Amino acid sequence: MDNTTNKASQTERERMAAGLWYDANFDEELRALREAAKDLAAEFSATPLAQAERRDDILHRLIGSIGDGCEILPPLYVDYGTNISIGQGTFINHGAYLMDCAPIVIGGSCFIGPYFGAYTAQHPLVAEQRNTGLERALPITIGDNCWLGASVTIMPGVTIGEGCVIAAGSLVTHDIPAGSIAMGSPARVVRAITDDDRIER
């Protein structure tokens, strides 16, 4: 089978998963998946904190993979949910939006502040093409033991290494190496985290 035939036979969902340009706005299969995920996310967000078992059940139906001991505070927003993986013991504060058109992998023991945004989607720069609903998505990865302050935004294709601290309000447009402190818009590495940063009590 030649490439032309192969491309023609792919569904929009398959094109999305392959990181190709796909019809994000008007494809009925993708629209139905998003609506189902957003309904589950809304149900989770409306469930009282005291109903821990119900909240946990909803999260396990919504999120592709979620480790033990995770805590996510409402409201939570997703696109599909199934493309999200969260390691054990991670905490995500109120108002997170995980736009998981491509995989979003969050490691274990991460501490993520309120109004966190992880955005995998890209749109065409030419308005005529953008208006047709085209989009492509690139994965986002956050290593174990990261602390992301309030209102951190991560853009498509970014990897944040293990043990990083990202300052509140930062816009992360490029990879951040493990063990770094980064801040700003766009975020820049300001220094490495060292033993001198250990606190005494």
Q: Catalytic site residues?
A: 123
Residue-wise over 34-69: b if at least 16 C-beta within 10 A, else e? beebbebbeebbebeeeeeeebeebbeebbbebbee
88's CB contacts (< 8 A; 6+ apart) are 67, 68, 69, 70, 108, 109
Q: Which residue do the tokens 């023609």 mark?
A: 8
Q: Which two tokens stand for residue 4?
A: 């032309």
Q: Under DSSP, is residue 130 helix (H, G, I), strand (E, B) or coil?
A: helix
